[in-house]
Amino acid sequence: MKTAEKLAAGWLLTLGFMFLTLSVSTVLEKMTVQKSVTIPVSWDGSVEFSAVKDTPIFDETAAGFLMFGVPSTILGGWLTLGLYRQSRQEKKLIQQQLSDRIQSTFYQMLLENDGRITVLNFAIQSQLPAATARQYLDDKAKEFHANFQVNEEGAVSYHFDI
């Protein structure tokens, strides 16, 4: 469904811009025709200038292109804006679900390990990269005033008061 909406929005925008461009082109062509002059030479050698004044076919053509171009462009833009908003909302929902899952894992590990968590264990349980897991634990340690302990190998364990 989303692919069909993207295609429809693309086609409507393309058609709308095409019709609007044709409308502008028709108006410019009308202006060019009105500026053009005929130069017939009369029998006495003088030059007669006359400009074309009435060009209703250009007006009707330009109006027709506008009638199709404006609604197509507006509808295509509206569909595009709707797709953008929907995509942004879906990304926000996915981010919230990920945040909730990580927080749940964090609290579950605190309860299971009496408030002790290592970066490696948290990274394994939450399926996060080590750098992201360390940053998350550092943030939570600041939030909850946790203690740190470094063992002989340099691994940091966080101790939260439960």
* Residue-wise pLDDT tens digits, 75-107: 999 999 999 999 999 999 999 999 999 999 999
Are 62 and 134 in the same domain?
A: no
Last residue of a domain, one of 38, 68, 95: 95
pTM: 0.59
Q: How far is CA 95 from CA 51, 88, 91, 139, 152, in A?
A: 67, 11, 6, 18, 37
CATH code where residue 130 lies: 1.10.10.10
Res 52: pLDDT: 53
Res 58: pLDDT: 65
Are 127 and 62 in the same domain?
A: no
Res 104: pLDDT: 92
pLDDT at 36 over 70: no
At 115, list the tokens: 């408030």
Length of the chain: 162
Q: Is residue 64 part of a domain?
A: yes
Q: How far is CA 19 from CA 15, 28, 56, 64, 71, in A?
A: 6, 14, 19, 9, 10
At 139-149, the pLDDT tens digits run: 998 988 888 88
Number of domains into which the chain is organized:
2
Are 129 and 91 in the same domain?
A: no
Res 85: pLDDT: 94
**If you average pLDDT over residues 3-27, what whole number do you get?**
90
Domain that holds residue 8: 1-95
Are 13 and 89 in the same domain?
A: yes
Are 45 and 117 in the same domain?
A: no
Are 54 and 2 in the same domain?
A: yes
